[in-house]
Amino acid sequence: MYKKRFWNEDVETMSVDDLCNLQRKRLQEAIEWAHEKTSYYRDLFDRSGLKPEDISSPGDLVKIPFTSDIETADDVPLRDRIAVPAEKIRMYHSTSGTVGAVVPIPFTQKDMEAFLQEGEARARWTMGVRPWDVVQVLTRFDCCSLGYRELGSASVLMSAGRYNTDHQIHLTQEAGVTVIEHMPSFLLSYFERMEELGIKVGSTKLRMASGVGEGWAESYKKKVESRFGMPFMTLYGAVEISPFFASECEARNGMHINADQGILEVVDPETGKPLPEGEEGEIVVTLFQREAMPLIRYRVGDMGSIMPYEPCPCGRTSPKISYVKGRVSQRINISGRNILPIDVEEIVARFDELENEFRIVCEKPEMDILRLRVEYKDDVKALKDLKEKIEEALFDELGLSSEVDLAPRGSLERVTFKAQRVERLYS
């Protein structure tokens, strides 16, 4: 058995002062590389009246304008962002196309080693995966397998089972899978389907679940953990920014940021002003040592907060980010308040009578009442009482009046990639 506690102890237990010095050095190198090698960042600096030497510490980042979501930046050709000749690129991943066009993300060999192998392997080690584990990745993010491969774990290939859920469940059992990685919104239904097939989750070798790709309500996380007897661990990142930039440790209180690989800011989504620790806003990332496609003050579009710094019982000294709640673009204005689907999900998950499929129905950009359509389980009879209880909980927790429409199980359309919680009836 492995005795070591950390994947990269020198980095993960670095003193705060040493980490700050390393960040300053790597930030200066990243700024110089982006300015020298890409027309995009040269133009950005010129328009802002900046020179690379003007950015000497993380505090200077506020001088630089934000760079926008790659999927929606139609006015910026990808070639203007790339800093290396085509022959140095060894892999392309892509954005998901969630908010715009699917965009290829290039990686050189150096990028793959620094971010996909070191970053991902460290993230998985932090959450507790070890070389003796057998891992099954169901997200279809094939970049994820690189981290597990670097860590030394055995992996069930994503194409195994040919993306058929029942086949994959059979493989979970027969291959002795110990760690399963999935989109959080699909994990509960995967386990429920397993038991429908007569396979008790507790009878398998599964010991841990890993959630990536989207936020998930704490209520659902607790439901999975109590019902199926395993911890549900969380990772955070995006294809553009690593892909994994933060991970949960055994302390189960936020996620450690790979602060040696980049700087994370949180800003007000409306004003762009930096927010203090503990305040929720939009995540902005600046990457170090990104060779193929530099990213400086990149608005990721996710909502989270930097947690107030305190020593972590796990021994890691890196700062932490909260669990990410969702996308800025998913915010819904009801009675002058912005809420996220996960705020509603937290309440839906508390009702055992409900399935985990629901839709927030938006008839216009700003609404006076929360309209929610949610599936109920087959054996539920007292629908009127259930509807009233849900509406009361929504008012008590969110301070919003609501109209709940209870729908039979299977009424709402299922998706195969990332949960869709909002139905917009306007264009």
In terms of residue numbers, what domain contains 375?
331-424
**Predicted pLDDT at 68:** 79
Do 298 and 354 reside in the same domain of the chain? no
The answer to whether 190 touches 138, Cβ cutoff 8 Å, is yes
**Predicted pLDDT at 101:** 72
**CA–CA dist 393, 136 (Å, integer):** 37
Domain boundary among 298, 328, 358: 328
**What's the structural domain count of the chain?**
2
Domain boundary among 328, 359, 393: 328
Cα separation of the two ends of the chain: 57
Do 317 and 359 reside in the same domain of the chain? no
Do 93 and 203 reside in the same domain of the chain? yes
Here the CATH number for the domain that contains residue 388 is 3.30.300.30
Radius of gyration of the chain (CA): 22
Instruction: Return the closest-CA partner of residue 206 out of 184, 174, 234, 163.
Output: 174
Domain boundary among 276, 309, 328: 328
Do 317 and 347 reside in the same domain of the chain? no
- The whole model's pTM is what? 0.89
pLDDT tens for the chain, 427 residues long, are: 567 899 999 999 999 999 999 999 999 999 999 999 999 999 999 999 999 999 999 999 999 999 976 655 556 788 899 999 999 999 888 876 666 677 888 999 999 888 877 888 999 999 999 999 999 999 877 777 888 889 999 999 888 888 899 999 999 999 999 999 988 878 888 898 999 999 999 999 999 999 887 777 888 888 888 889 999 999 998 888 877 789 999 999 999 999 999 999 999 999 999 999 999 999 999 999 899 999 999 999 899 999 999 999 999 999 999 999 888 888 888 888 888 888 998 999 899 899 888 899 888 888 889 999 999 998 888 899 999 999 999 999 999 999 999 999 888 876 655 567 878 877 7
Residue type, 267: V
Here the CATH number for the domain that contains residue 202 is 3.40.50.12780
Do 379 and 269 reside in the same domain of the chain? no
Strand partners for 137:
181
Place of tokens 């192998």: 117
Which token pair is 401? Answer: 């009046």
The answer to whether 234 touches 241, Cβ cutoff 8 Å, is no
Cα separation values, 253 from 11, 96, 247, 303, 307, Å:
20, 28, 10, 17, 10
**Predicted pLDDT at 258:** 95
**CA–CA dist 385, 378 (Å, integer):** 16
Strand partners for 321:
255, 306
Do 379 and 242 reside in the same domain of the chain? no
Residue type, 242: S
Instruction: Return the closest-CA partner of residue 42 out of 75, 78, 83, 71.
Output: 83
Do 340 and 280 reside in the same domain of the chain? no
**Predicted pLDDT at 390:** 94
Angle between helices 184-196 and 165-174 (to 10 degrees): 80
The answer to whether 163 touches 138, Cβ cutoff 8 Å, is no
Which secondary structure element, helix H or strand E, spans residue 27, and what is its range?
Answer: helix 16-37
Task: For the chain, give the number of residues.
Answer: 427
**Predicted pLDDT at 274:** 95
The answer to whether 299 touches 306, Cβ cutoff 8 Å, is no
